[in-house]
Amino acid sequence: MLAVSGLTMRFGGLKAVDDLSFEARQNEITAVIGPNGAGKTTVFNCITGFYRPSGGIIELTHDNGRRFTLNHMSGHRIAATAKVARTFQNIRLFAGMTVLENLLVAQHNTLMAATGFGIMGLLGIGGYRAAEAAAVDRARYWLDAIALTARADDPAGALPYGAQRRLEIARAMCIDPVMLCLDEPAAGLNPRETEELNRMLLRIRDGGCSLLLIEHDMGVVMRISDHIVVLDHGRMISDGTPAEVRSDPGVIAAYLGEGEEDEVTA
């Protein structure tokens, strides 16, 4: 469903991503792993429109056959029309807004259409009330899913770290995405929270949303991924099922730091 081909991203003289091609399939969890600085987050930023790639094509195909060339789209349209949601490595919640408000902001485009772009809602005509009630119901569904219903009226910034991570995922899910990109969702979580996260991600996948995942926690990656892409120095060094990747000598070398010869040949 997501096809990346020949993706290149240059920052000045530095090639953060170099001619990367991979595919993420429908209803699968695709993990992108690699040592620090391998270019994983850069790939994410290219897919979600935060960077404009220096070269290559990123194409997304929906269930109904609609195709989007993401490398030509701006960030907000990738989320709004191509329905690719993302979370951030350093959590980016609206800290001064309540948990519920965070989930309502995520449904901005649906609600905005219902208010007649503000004018009809201002005058109190049209179906805004019904749309708002539906939005609150959807928010409530996700609050139940992440076990935060009791804290719905607390500011998001006052939540503990693990809850903030869950809320950020729920907020991304509120835009009704076909693909969810998670940038290190397990970072900073304790083992129990990681376990909950695993279950939640599998449930999201089974609900019909494909996942793209950057993660350092191999426990998460190996257990839930259907497909793993390994990057090193901006290039793909391995691509396959968890079992295949685990036994790939190139991957082991990259992770154990046996990179001297690699660099010379590169």
Partner 1 sequence: MSALRDAFLSAVVALGLFGPMVGLVADNAERGLTLRVRPIPVAVVVGLVFFGRLAALSLRSRRRSAAVASNRALAEIVTRAGKYVAPLLLVLAVALPFSGSRYYVDLGTLVLTYIMLGWGLNIVVGLAGLLDLGYVAFYAVGAYSYAILAQTFGLGFWTCLPLAGILAALWGILLGFPVLRLRGDYLAIVTLAFGEIIRIVITNWVSLTNGPNGISGIPRPTLFGLTFSMDGGPGTVSGFFGIEPQTIQRVIFLYYVILGLALITNWVTLRLRRMPQGRAWEALREDEVACRSLGINVTTTKLTAFAMGAMFGGFAGAFFATRQAFISPESFTFIESATVLAIVVLGGLGSQLGVALAAIIMVGGLELLRQLLSWMADQMGSPLFAGIASALPLYRMLIFGVALVLMMVLRPRGLVSGRTPTASLGKPKEISAELVAQGRG
CB nearer to partner 1: pick between 158 and 243: 158
Whole-angstrom distance, CA of residue 88 vs CA of residue 72: 22
How, if at all, do strands 67-69 and 55-61 pair? antiparallel
Which window, 15-23, 57-65, 116-124, 238-246, contacts partner 1 (CB under 8 A)?
A: 116-124
Retrieve residue 145's tokens.
Answer: 């899913």
Query: Is there binding between residue 111 and partner 1 (CB under 8 A)?
Result: yes
Contacting residue, 10, 15, 140, 223, with partner 1 by CB under 8 A: 140
Nearer to partner 1, 211 or 236 (CB): 211
Strands (E), the chain: 2-11, 14-24, 29-33, 55-61, 67-69, 84-86, 179-183, 210-214, 227-232, 235-240
Nearer to partner 1, 26 or 109 (CB): 109
Residue of 52, 55, 63, 122 that binds partner 1 (CB under 8 A)? 122
Q: CB-wise, 174 or 237, nearer to partner 1?
A: 174
| Interaction between residue 136 and partner 1 (CB under 8 A) | yes
* Residue 91 or 220 with smaller CB distance to partner 1: 91
State yes or no: residue 48 binds partner 1 (CB under 8 A).
yes
* Residues in 179-218 that interact with partner 1 by CB under 8 A: none
Q: What are phi and psi of 133, to 5 degrees?
A: -65, -40
Helices and strands, counts by H and E, the chain:
12, 10
Task: Provide the pairing of β-strand 55-61 with 2-11.
Answer: antiparallel
- Note whether 108 binds partner 1 by CB under 8 A: yes
Q: Taking CB under 8 A as the rule, does residue 175 contact partner 1?
A: yes
- Choice between 149 and 198, CB closer to partner 1: 149
Pairing of strands 29-33, 55-61: unpaired
CB-based contacts of 17, cutoff 8 Å, min separation 6:
7, 8, 9, 39, 42, 43, 46, 53, 234
Residues near partner 1 (CB under 8 A), total: 50
Instruction: Mark residues 74-103: x for contact with partner 1 by CB under 8 A, - for none.
Output: -xxxxxxx---xx-x---xxxxxxx-xx--
**Burial classification of residue 203, based on how many CB atoms lie within 10 Å of its CB (0-12 exposed, 13-18 middle, 19 or more buried):** exposed
Tell me, what amino acid is at 249?
A: P
Q: Which residues bind partner 1 (CB under 8 A)?
A: 48-50, 75-81, 85-86, 88, 92-98, 100-101, 104-109, 111-112, 115, 117-118, 121-122, 128, 132, 136, 140, 149, 152-155, 157-158, 171-172, 174-175
